[in-house]
Structure 1
Amino acid sequence: MLARIVIFEGPDGVGKTTLIKHIKEQYGKDAYYMHLRVHKDMKLWHTASARLAISKKQDGKLVLLDRHWPSEQFYSHIYREGPSYDPEEIYRRLKLEGALYVWCLPSDIEQVKQNHRINREKRKEAYYDIDKVIQMYNDYWNYPTSNLINFHQNNLMDTLAPLKKRPDFIRYDMFKEGHDLNAVTERIIDKCFQMNL
C-alpha cells in the first residue's frame, strides 16, 4: 500500500498532467487524483483539498494533486494583487503527512517559455503570457536572491527557498526525463519512501 501525498507544481505546459496521468495508470484504483483550479476563496479551497488529501492518504491512497498552494503564491503575484493568504499552516500540515512536492520545471526555461507561446496558438491557455511566472518558479528553485519577489506578509516561499535544497521537493525536467516516465515515476515513489513520516 502506497499511502502518500504528492503535489505536482510548476507553470503551465511543463508536463505535470502528463506525468500524473502516467502515475495514475501505473497505480490504478490505488491512486486518487485532484486537479485544483482558481477558486474565489483560495485559502478555503486549499485547506479543504489538503484535508481531503490527508483523508484519502489515511484510506491508503496515493494522492496526486495537480497544483496546490504554490501556484496561488506565484500566479496571484503576477496576475492579481498578490497571494490571498499565508499558506504556512497548510504547508506544515502537509509536511507532517510526508507530502512530496514535484517541482515540474525544466532547466531550460527559455524553451519552456517558447513552448507556452507555441501552445497558446494551438489551444486556449488560461494565461496568455507566463514568462514571469516561469521565471519565479525557476528563481525559487535556485534562489538567486537578487531576483526574488518579496511576498510581504505572505513570505513562506522566501522562507523555504532555495527549494532544491529541501528534502520534501524534487525537480522533474520533461525535456530531459519525459522520454522515460516509468523511471520518473520510480524516482518519485522511491523519494516518497525515503521521506520520514
Structure 2
Amino acid sequence: MVNRRRERADTAPPRSDDGRWHELVDTAARVFAAKGYRSATLQDIADEFGVLKGSLYHYIRSKDDLLDAVIRSVLDVGLARLREEAAADRDPVERLRDIVRAHVLHLVDNLVGTTVLLHEFDQLPPERQLTVPIREYQEVLEAQVDAARADPRVRSDVDPHLSALAILGATNWVYRWYRPGGSRTPEQIADYFAATLVDGLLDPSR
C-alpha cells in the first residue's frame, strides 16, 4: 500500500487553481470517446478546451494524466453510488435490485465517461492501472449476491462470482445502445434490468 500511495503521488497532475480542471476532464472525455485514446492528441483537447496546447501543462504533465482523471471521475461516482445502496438496511434481494438499478442509471448518466472507462482503461500505464479500484464494482456485487443467498427465495446453486460477472456484463453494455430520447426512459430500463437479472437468481417454485 505504501508503494501505491507514493506511485499515485508521483503521477498526480499539477492542475491549476483557476477552477477549470473539471471542465478540462469533461473535454478530454469527449475527445477520447470520439477519437479513441491513441488517436486523440493533446492538440485536439486544447482546441476543444479553447486554449493553446502549451497551456494544458498548467493542468497536466502528460496525456496519461487526463485519461487517469477521466477514468477516476466516472468510476468514483459510480462506486460511491453502489456503496450507498449496498449499505442500506433493507431486504437483501431488494437491495440487490436497487444496486442494479443504480448502476444502470449511473451508466446512462455518464455515457461519455463510461465509454472511455470501458474502452480505454487498458491504455493506462500498468502502474496506474494498479491504483484504480476498478474491481471494486465486482466485489460490491459479489458481496450483495452472497448476502442475498440467505433469502430462501434465492436458488441454492447461485454463484456470487459468476452472478456478479453476469450482472456487470449485461448492464455495462447499456452504454453501447442507449440513446437519450428513446422509447424507454432510463428508469424503465433500470427497472427492467433489475427485475430480469435479479429474478434470474430466484427459485420459481418459491
Whether TM-score is above 0.5 comes out as no
From the two aligned structures, give the one with the greater strand fraction: 1
- Higher RCO by CA contacts (8 Å cutoff, separation 6 or greater): 1
From the two aligned structures, give the one with the greater helix fraction: 2
Alignment TM-score, normalising by the size of structure 2? 0.29
